[in-house]
Amino acid sequence: MKPLSGAYNTARSIPKAEYHQSVEKGAIMAELDGTMYSDPKLITDKLGYAIVANGTTADVVWMVTDSIGYEEDYSTSSSDQVTERIPTLIRTVTVRGYDASDETVDREILLNRLCTADPVLLSEGNKNVFFHTITIRLMWIYHNN
Q: How far apart are CA 88 and CA 68, in angstroms?
A: 6
What is the pLDDT at residue 49? 94
- Tens of pLDDT along 90-142? 999 888 776 777 787 788 887 787 777 778 776 676 677 777 776 777 677 66
> How many Cα atoms within 13 Å fall on the side-chain side of residue 58?
17
What is the pLDDT at residue 60? 77
Q: How far apart are CA 79 and CA 100, in angstroms?
A: 48
Across 43-54, average pLDDT: 92
Residues 107, 41, 144, 95, CA torsion sign: negative
